[in-house]
Amino acid sequence: MTNAIGTSTARVDGIAKVTGTAQYAYEHPFTDPVYLHPVQATVARGAVDTFRSDKAESVDGVLAVLSPWNAPRLADVSDPELSLLQGPEVRFRGQIIGAVIATTPEIARHAQSLVEVEYTTDDHDTVLRADHPDRYPEDDPQTIGDDVDEKLSSAQLVIDQRYSTPEEHNTPMEPHTAVALWDPAEQHLTLTTATQGPHSVVDTLAPLLGLEPQQLRVVSPHVGGGFGSKAAPHGHDLVAALGALALPGRAVKYAVTRQQGFVFVGYRSPTRQHLRLGARCDGTLTAIDHESFSQVSPAGTFSESASSISASMYAADARRLVHHLVPLDVPPPHWMRAPGEAPGMFALEVAMDELAVAAGIDPVELRIRNDPDRDPATGNRWTSRRLVECLHEGARQFGWRDRDPHPGIRRDGEWLIGTGMASATYPHVMSPGTKVTIRHDGGGRYTVRTGAADIGTGAWTTLTLISADALRVSRERVTMEIGDSSLPTATVAGGSSGTTSWGSAIVATAEAFRRQHGDDPEAGAQTTGGVSEDPLAEGYTAASFGAHFVEVRVHPGTGEVRVPRMRGVFSIGRVINPRTVRSQLLGGMVMGLSMALHEKSVRDPRFGHVVTQDLATYHVPVNADIEDMDASWLDETDELATPMGSRGAGEIGIVGSAAAIANAVYHATGTRVRDLPITPPALVRD
Amino acid sequence: MESRLALTVDGEEHTIEVDTRTTLLDALRDRIGATAPKKGCDHGQCGSCTVIEDGRRVTTCLSLAVAHDGASIVTASGLSDGDLGLHPMQQAFIEQDAFQCGYCTPGQICSAIGMLAEIADGSPSFVTEDLADPPTLTDAEIRERLSGNLCRCGAYVNILAAVRQATQHSDKGAA
Amino acid sequence: MRPFDYERATDAADAVARAASRPEAVFLAGGTNLVDHLKLGLVEPELLVDISHLPLAAIEQEPDGTLDIGANVRNADLAAHPAVRRSHPLLSRALLSGASGQLRNLATTGGNLLQRTRCVYFQDVTTPCNKRSPGSGCSALGGHTEQHAIFGASQQCIAVHPSDMAVALAALDAQVSLLGPEGVTSMPVTELHRLPGDSPERDTVLDRGQLITGVRIPPPPAGARHTYRKVRERSSFAFALISLAAEMVVEDGVIASARLALGGVAHKPWRARRAEEVLHGAPAITETFTAAAKAELEQARPLEGNAFKVPMARAMIVAALKELAVETT
């Protein structure tokens, strides 16, 4: 081993990023590109009746106007999200119903405003309610152990509360962008797009467009954040591709505006949750009943299942989990960092804090008392469950000992002070199927190629380190190639599975390379390999764990909340690159703080669209919101989970952090907030 | 309506014809090929398009190019010439891992450099305790002054550390 | 964005003449609000008269202490100017609470006064808005009203003025200097902006072609203490839920003078004159401050979505006045 893994390493793409020369989707050079601006529906449900584009077409510089009727036809219209411009149906407000392509972005945007559309409209409904008449359970309730109702009725302590989380938008700093170029001679489409998985874009779009996979190349070397919203192609990719087919030989650039980024590129569904915890006087849980609701779109199937988090988190004699879907006239919800886990853990960990208060037990101690020996959902052994050590270490770092649990009694000038904590977990996910090609370039230098994506996670660097150790060379001798579907197939950067899935494939391929070429390979020696299944042994559950500790200041007159101090301690297996992993964990915690205090997409039920559709009205934290915050981890390795000994780290930072802040707000003020976000209006009292 | 204008970008002079509607940001990115300033919101709400124009940090998405005829602009690509390597702020951003996806980074770096110049000039901020005194370089001052640059990856802790590192470098340089 | 002509004015009179020459002409200064609106399609002028290069960028202090500020002075320069920091730290603080460092390097004094509401419906051409499109209806009523007015709204419009600077200027009795086709005039900042009434499309009383050339601020009373407070949904770079500019002179425990203005509560910077009446001549004690806040907030007509603004404003007024009273020496 060369021990590249575990060495704090600067990003290999660092110079390109700090000098602004790393090419994001919009920035690849094309000759004489043209620009697309979409026409969007201004009704939430109905159909396009008339689409008059003559005024738009008469503008100098307009090259094409695509309508629901004249756009190139798709070979497969079974995906309602992506079957755009194939007919008049409008399923949500803001849906793409046309597109103008022109020689400049200014002309395209102006001409778009001249398209006149008339609709037939139907009544629409965009309000998520737990008692919605059309709700339906996603699956049968998951029941484990004894009868929940019986255990609840006989419990010495019961917490029975409702929680909610709002609609949230991923809002990566790089707005989604697609540049499509159809080469009519080669019958080949190149799509330069911001994606978390180039091959998944090919897999999805090629059949829709009637292309063989080899007729579509997706290029995406640098991606300006995604947080789930770039994990699958969305409408902009499809419309750019249609534009390219309509204008062969021209690169059609479509940069989604920030406002459009609040419509059709995915978002986190709001949730409504009902939690009932039954416990003995000593705080040990006897029952967990977690019921959740999220919305689903007629144009998609994604489900934000918040109740699943309660399957494995704590021991209990009885548990019942059920998730309901409410069909609404909304755009398709999609992945957003820790989908299900983030909102679910908010409810569970606030409920646990309420139980700690009711039982008169320290909240850290309460979690320790309910730590399960085996995975309650399956009876499996844990590959490694070190939540308790995270709790102890976090408490030590934070100075939790001797905390006075009484709420609303600590003051500093005009401000109230409080502290709170919560646990975190995220399942270990390994997605089989990644292929890797390793080539010996001569002189002990290697090129390692796979279609992985670096959305800011540090994959360029992390995979270099894994390759170096697997090939037993220094990291300087490894050249990584990622971010292109012309490279060997790779799975999506999502579910905290990237490093696990790609890294495992690299390790396996390096072993195959040695078997094939020996320890002294010729220049040009090459092996393609991969892993076809999850190596996790039967009978084991693997997951990451963590603990958040937070101090807040709350102004009782204005409801302002500040977070002067926040600590996260995590158990994530072996850390490949401490420098980038710390950044990911901190980034998750910042997003958790954001979820707790700032983020809320306000969907106006009268119109059906999100009216807080920019970064001035949809608030994410600024630098001044993040004060003394740090993340650390236990020294460990989990070789039952992956050959590198690592587990996922991308999402766990957001899980539980919002609850820790809400619990600290309770401790500061005595006000229990169960509905996010905790904005000043939520805390001001008359 | 087309209009002709001259811009100096990272030391290089450009003369371009632009639509009066073209923003300075789009002129830089689409016409000149200077893609270090990024389009994150196009409405002055994220700071990703920050450059240094005639010595001051500014956003470029809410400026019409035609109104900035003759301006001299430095982007993150032009902060130091090739012989000198990276600007100390850029070096610090790499060493402190002050970014993840990197999209806001050129704007953060230009903003940080402009911000330090403003502090050196004695300009106050909202968190400056006494407006009669020149500001001091506290953590709170740095955070407040960089709050016009959103980072959705949440690299703020490391951005602060990078600015600290860069200022120590320049202190040493001055000594 | 509709195509438009662009002309660079050579002096203030030239700017006024150019603007008067075309019915849909607008002035362009820093651009931070106008270009935003051009992109969103909220305004579709046929001519932009660029005034950003006019020599209206000086700050001068007259012998009596009056500050004379050119309309093109950038927000950052105004906030940092020694005379402003010395005489009117309230104004500096208000400016520094607004936008971001790089926007304050662009935005001008005149443009800041004329910035338009951030009502989410005004900014979205797909929703009705009487301010943008008179007679189309007010989408904010019955909608997302967290940011909206509690004072002086009408059935036609409940938007608020977003400026922080204007709130400070209203408290400081600043005057706006104007040049129009009819010549030079001036008016108090408190009279520049109007309540929406039946014509919310008009933010101010300015006539077409009238140009703000500067702002004049009289010297503060001796012994005055100031504070500017702003409550928003994050620590920085956000518009106010409520902002408060407060200045008070306390002599021997009695309030000799007090000037208060609130932002984020009305279609204009809201000078809290009823509160001031209660404060004048009263003892500088918490009971007085509470009574002053109560007197002002009795006029409030909150909606369900912004009812929080009444207790929030009360808490802000009382806390600010306490701060100004406690530290008096």
Closest Cα of chain C to A178: distance in Å? 21
**Average pLDDT for B104-133:** 97
In a domain, A261, yes or no: no
From A81, A101, A124, the end of a domain falls on: A124
CATH code at position A329: 3.30.365.10
Q: Which of B46, B94, B158 sits opposite A18 (nearest CB)?
A: B94
Pick the CATH number of B2-78 from 3.10.20.90, 3.90.1150.10, 3.10.20.30, 3.90.1660.10: 3.10.20.30
Q: How far apart are CA A370 and CA A368, in angstroms?
A: 5
Residues A550 and A525 in one domain: no
Residues A356 and A464 in one domain: no
Instruction: State the greatest distance between any 2 C-alpha atoms of chain B, in Å, as a whole number.
Output: 53
Q: Between chains, do B42 and C39 touch, taking CB under 8 Å as contact?
A: yes
pLDDT in tens, A512-525: 999 999 999 999 99
- Residue B102 DSSP class: -
> Measured between beta carbons, which residues in chain B are less than 8 angstroms from residue C122?
none
Q: How far apart are CA A367 and CA A348, in angstroms?
A: 12
CB A372 within 8 A of CB A551: no
CATH code at position A100: 3.90.1170.50
Residues A581 and A677 in one domain: yes
In a domain, A634, yes or no: yes
At residue C329, the pLDDT reads: 45
Q: Determine the distance from the C-alpha atom of residue A609 to the mean position of all C-alpha atoms in its chain, rounded to a whole number.
A: 22
Confidence of residue B173 (pLDDT cuts 50, 70, 90): very low
Positions in chain A whose pLDDT score sits under 50: 1
The angle at the Cα of A573, spanning A567 to A577, to the nearest 5 degrees, equals: 75
Q: Is A446 helix (H, G, I), strand (E, B) or coil?
A: strand
At residue B82, the pLDDT reads: 62
Q: Is C300 helix (H, G, I), strand (E, B) or coil?
A: coil
Q: Active site includes A651?
A: yes
At residue A24, the pLDDT reads: 98
Distances in Å between the alpha carbon of A542 and those of A372, A642, A645, B59? Answer: 14, 10, 11, 46
In a domain, A7, yes or no: no
Closest CA to A231 of A455, A76, A456, A428: A455
Give the containing element (helix H, strand E) for C323: helix C309-326
Give residue A639's domain range.
271-428+539-682
**Average pLDDT for C145-156:** 98
At residue A113, the pLDDT reads: 97
From A70, A103, A124, the end of a domain falls on: A124
Q: Which of A255, A583, A588 sits opposite B158 (nearest CB)?
A: A583
Closest CA to A42 of A105, A116, A107, A110: A116
Closest Cα of chain C to A350: distance in Å? 22
Q: Between chains, do A620 and B152 touch, taking CB under 8 Å as contact?
A: yes
Q: Any residues with CB less than 8 A from the CB of C99 and at least 6 apart, and which?
A: B44, B148, C32, C75, C107, C237
Angle between helices A498-517 and A459-471 (to 10 degrees): 30
Residue percentage of chain C with pLDDT more than 90: 98
CB A147 within 8 A of CB A318: yes
The residue ranges of every structural domain in chain C are 5-50, 225-327
The angle at the Cα of C193, spanning C190 to C195, to the nearest 5 degrees, equals: 105
> Measured between beta carbons, which residues in chain A are less than 8 angstroms from residue B159?
623
Q: Which of C89, C97, C237 sits opposite B131 (nearest CB)?
A: C89
Q: Between chains, do A617 and C235 touch, taking CB under 8 Å as contact?
A: no
Residues A56 and A104 in one domain: yes
Q: Which of C3, C50, C236 sits opposite B147 (nearest CB)?
A: C236
Q: How far apart are CA A106 and CA A515, in angstroms?
A: 58
Q: Between chains, do C92 and B124 touch, taking CB under 8 Å as contact?
A: yes
At residue C328, the pLDDT reads: 46
Closest CA to C114 of C74, C154, C68, C166: C166
Residues A398 and A481 in one domain: no
From A124, A150, A175, the end of a domain falls on: A124
Q: How far apart are CA A21 and CA B89, in angstroms?
A: 16
Q: Between chains, do C315 and A558 touch, taking CB under 8 Å as contact?
A: yes
> Measured between beta carbons, which residues in chain B are less than 8 angstroms from residue A627?
139, 143
Residues A611 and A463 in one domain: no
Q: How is residue C146 written in tokens?
A: 């967290």
Q: Any residues with CB less than 8 A from the CB of A69 and at least 6 apart, and which?
A: A51, A88
Residue range C225-327, CATH number: 3.30.390.50
Q: Is A517 helix (H, G, I), strand (E, B) or coil?
A: helix
Token pair 């490279």 is at which residue? A487
Residues A499 and A612 in one domain: no
Q: How is residue A397 written in tokens?
A: 């770092």
Enumerate residues 464 to 493 of chain A having a beta carbon within 8 A of any beta carbon in chain B: none
At residue B1, the pLDDT reads: 77
Residues A422 and A557 in one domain: yes
For CA atoms A413, A416, A421, A424, the dihedral sign is negative
Enumerate residues 247 to 276 of chain A having a beta carbon within 8 A of any beta carbon in chain B: 255, 257-258
Mean pLDDT computed over every residue of chain C: 97
At residue B174, the pLDDT reads: 39
| Amino acid at site B18 | V
**Average pLDDT for B41-47:** 98
Q: Is B175 helix (H, G, I), strand (E, B) or coil?
A: coil
Burial class, A374, CB count within 10 angstroms (exposed 0-12 / middle 13-18 / buried 19+): middle
Q: Is C177 helix (H, G, I), strand (E, B) or coil?
A: strand
C5-50 belongs to CATH 3.30.450.20: no
Closest CA to A648 of A563, A546, A550: A546
Nearest Cα residue in chain A from C317? A557
Which CATH architecture describes the domain B88-171? Answer: Orthogonal Bundle (1.10)
Number of domains in chain A: 3
Nearest Cα residue in chain B from A222? B101
In a domain, A90, yes or no: yes
The residue ranges of every structural domain in chain B are 2-78, 88-171
At residue C227, the pLDDT reads: 97
Q: How is residue C24 written in tokens?
A: 């849909």
Closest CA to A7 of A579, A648, A477: A579
**Average pLDDT for C22-28:** 95
Q: How is residue A22 written in tokens?
A: 């790393």
Q: Which of B36, B86, B147 sits opposite A624 (nearest CB)?
A: B147
Neighbours of A509 (CB within 10 A): 27
> What's the half-sphere exposure (Cβ side, CA atoms, 13 Å) at A156?
9
User: CB distance from B58 to chain C under 8 Å?
Assistant: yes
Reported in sequence order, the residue ranges of A428-538 that DSSP labels E, i.e. its strands, are: 435-442, 445-449, 478-481, 526-530
User: CB distance from A103 to chain C under 8 Å?
Assistant: no
pTM of the model: 0.98
Give the containing element (helix H, strand E) for A418: strand A415-427
Q: How far apart are CA C210 and CA C20, in angstroms?
A: 9
CB A313 within 8 A of CB A349: no
> Measured between beta carbons, which residues in chain C are less than 8 angstroms from residue A607?
126-127, 139
Distances in Å between the alpha carbon of A621 and those of A627, A676, B108, B140? Answer: 11, 15, 15, 15
